[in-house]
Amino acid sequence: MGARVARSAAATGRLANWLDWPTLPAVNTRQPVTRRAALKGLGGAGLAAAAFVPNIGRAAATPMPAPQAVPGPGESRELILKRVLEAPLIDTHEHLIEEKERLQGTAHPRVPCDDWALLLSHYLDSDFVTAGMPEADMDRVLSPRVDPVAKWPLIAPYWPAVKNTGYAQAVRISIRELYGVEELSSATIRRVQAGYEQTRRPGFYRRILQERARIESCQVNCLTGEPFKQSDMPTLLMQDLSIVGMFAGPDIRKYAAPTGIKVGSLEDWHRVIRWWFDRYATYAVAVKSQHAYHRDIDYARVPPEEAEPVFTKVLQKEPVTPAERRLLEDHLFWQAVDQATARNLPVKLHTGYYAGHNSMPLSRLRRNAGSAAELCRMSPDTKFVFMHLCYPYYEELLAVVKQWANAHVDMCWAWIINPVAAKDYLKKHIVTAPINKLLPFGGDYIPVEPVLGHAMIARRGIARALTELVQEGWLNLADALDLVDPILHQNARQLFRLAQKAGSLRRAPWAK
């Protein structure tokens, strides 16, 4: 289904090189070649049996040759890593603009500058500012009017402070993989800029996403105005239907204009909402709301007669109190969610950490997981997808996904917010909640280049989580290997019915 994923040996080798970590001490190193050969001949059941055979100290304790079928720590790691690197990955959350829009350069509002510094614009710029960089300097870094090479001295004083964060690691890996430059510095910045220009050419989305990151398909939440984007690459850049403007505001101009419905009542607005589902439910993979940037996700079911007077005030541009606005949002949230549920579209909700800097009210985020559980209780037929691990409250979200059949967790963005926490979450999820409730990755980027770095961090983290679970004795090797395909692609294919969506998208009126 979808686009084919390139799996060249060279690409796998490059990934493996970078992803490899220091060799763990081998337990039985006396006959490594023979043991490995034996391991290769094992089926799943053999591996399962072998994985729990205690091998520590065996070599010293007995004069007889050790059983030949026991995978050592290094071998488990290699087998898991190989499987994780080869598996196609489904990317369930991006904000990528269309490639043709990106190629317009700074004419597009989401391309502040068309040079290497664009890679810093989403999200690494925030780490620079919280490290102490003046906002005015960051504005210059992202300006199209500053020479790309002159941007390095602006960031150099703060680079040592930020270069190891997940945001920075994704950028550094992408620069290394795409431009062949190991480190950002005054000596390399011209090569980085040359690499940017050589890479940013027609076809680069497919080259980066499919050939390099081996992503089978993405799910894009368009931020450029349209509630649903009719993509030029419909089966690679699959789309969410944005519902936030249906209930927040609501955004009457944006949503009503394409429908031709003149909105004079709440019932008219309900018709507008239905129009969007009638038109796009076949093609959208899910619906999406990032309204948690404005309030908790504690939406009550409010009957239309209570919402109607507030909606009338909004229509007449009369002031409404915060309590009234909340009432209307609550009512309309469920109008949109009930439509999604009726059309079998999962409902993706932002939870946890905020993009940006110097603004996040942590006490509000803290309530997200509790409110998520309440949404699951209120609408058992709705498939909720809670995004970003509700970071930093991922233990609470894990309790929600373990408890509620209609809760799912999407680890999108999490691998670069805190890569170690993401690995920790994955380990805990595997031994706590059903694995079919987990979606492992979304780059969450506007520029395409850092998606590669983020995907490599995620693959490393997934392999590392599985390896550690085996080495710590929580999983046997066969069970760990069996988890790779569900985690990397099977769960997403099933939850979002991707084969069916791809079929519809290939026949979409806008598909070329």
Q: Which residues bind Zn ion (CB under 5 A)?
A: 444
| Strand extents, DSSP E, 80-235 | 89-94, 215-220
Please report how close the Cβ of residue 392 comes to Zn ion at its closest, in angstroms.
17
Query: Closest CB to Zn ion among 71 and 166?
Result: 166
Please report how close the Cβ of residue 237 comes to Zn ion at its closest, in angstroms.
14
Please report how close the Cβ of residue 384 comes to Zn ion at its closest, in angstroms.
16
Query: Closest CB to Zn ion among 76 and 121?
Result: 121
Please report how close the Cβ of residue 53 comes to Zn ion at its closest, in angstroms.
45
Nearest to Zn ion by Cβ — which residue?
444
Query: Closest CB to Zn ion among 98 and 444?
Result: 444
Please report how close the Cβ of residue 442 comes to Zn ion at its closest, in angstroms.
7
Please report how close the Cβ of residue 412 comes to Zn ion at its closest, in angstroms.
7
Please give the structure tokens belonging to residue 188: 């390399």
Query: Closest CB to Zn ion among 169 and 351?
Result: 351
Query: Closest CB to Zn ion among 96 and 337?
Result: 96
Can you state the percent helix, strand and coil of the chain, rounding each to 5? Answer: 55, 5, 40
Query: Closest CB to Zn ion among 410 and 444?
Result: 444
In this structure, are residues 71 and 79 in contact, taking their beta carbons and an 8 Å threshold? yes
Query: Closest CB to Zn ion among 120 and 328?
Result: 120
Query: Closest CB to Zn ion among 216 and 444?
Result: 444
Q: Which residue has the tokens 């690197």?
A: 85
Please give the structure tokens belonging to residue 211: 């050939």
- Evaluated on CA atoms 215, 432, 421, 473, the torsion sign reads negative
Burial bucket for residue 453 (CB in 10 Å: 0-12, 13-18, 19+): buried
Please report how close the Cβ of residue 444 comes to Zn ion at its closest, in angstroms.
4
Query: Closest CB to Zn ion among 99 and 444?
Result: 444
Please report how close the Cβ of residue 440 comes to Zn ion at its closest, in angstroms.
16
Comparing CA positions, the residue from 139, 105, 144 lying closest to residue 125 is 139
Burial bucket for residue 466 (CB in 10 Å: 0-12, 13-18, 19+): buried
Give the CA angle between residues 148, 150, 154 to the nearest 5°.
Answer: 110
Distance, in Å, from the CA atom of 379 to the CA atom of 134, rounded to the nearest integer, reads 46
Q: What string of DSSP letters covers 189-216?
A: HHHHHHHHHHHSSTTHHHIIIIIIS-EE
Report helix, strand or coil for 218: strand
Please report how close the Cβ of residue 223 comes to Zn ion at its closest, in angstroms.
8
In this structure, are residues 7 and 214 in contact, taking their beta carbons and an 8 Å threshold? yes
In this structure, are residues 270 and 253 in contact, taking their beta carbons and an 8 Å threshold? no
